[in-house]
Amino acid sequence: MKTFNVLVLASLVMVATSGVAYAGPEVTITVKNNSEFAANYDAVSSSAYTYGQANPKPPVQIAPGSSDFFKVKGAVSPDLTAAIFQYKIGNKICKFKTSYFKTPGRNGTPKWSKSAEEVGGARCDVRVTAVNYSNHNWAVEFTMR
């Protein structure tokens, strides 16, 4: 019975720590609302993964002329992190995307991407503000106007 308990405990420790070993880099996302109206988080199916992996969660609303942030860490692979989400101001929508991917192999090359899609006359900007080359964490700033 003691051998069984030791095996169960060892298995639980491996399962609990395996998520840490496979987590991808963390992205710090700042969302700036430079408009005259509140920007509302628009939950869509494509952002469900991002919302689930975010800590803290994306702000539900960002007041005019202010900004807020959240962080996302990839849970699937140490070589991949992605964040996809959108905010709305009336009928105007900014669809934001950022990702990290490390090419396969021992000396795989890290790549960071970013994009902002404008819908309904929205004006959206995106820029990477920081990259940590030792752990591949990065920061990105999305702006709505």
The rounded radius of gyration (Å) of the Cα atoms in the chain is 18
The fraction of the chain above a pLDDT of 90, given in percent, is 73
**β-strand pairing of 26-33 with 138-144:** parallel
What domains lie within the chain, and their CATH numbers?
A: 23-144 (2.60.270.50)
Per-residue pLDDT tens for 19-49?
Answer: 445 689 999 999 999 999 999 999 998 899 8
Measured between alpha carbons, how far is 90 from 33 in angstroms, rounded to an integer?
13
What is the C-alpha separation between 140 and 61, in angstroms, rounded? 19
Give pTM, 2 decimals: 0.82
pLDDT for 1 beyond 50: no
Cβ distance 123 to 32 under 8 Å? no
Q: Rounded distance, CA 70 to CA 62, Å?
A: 12
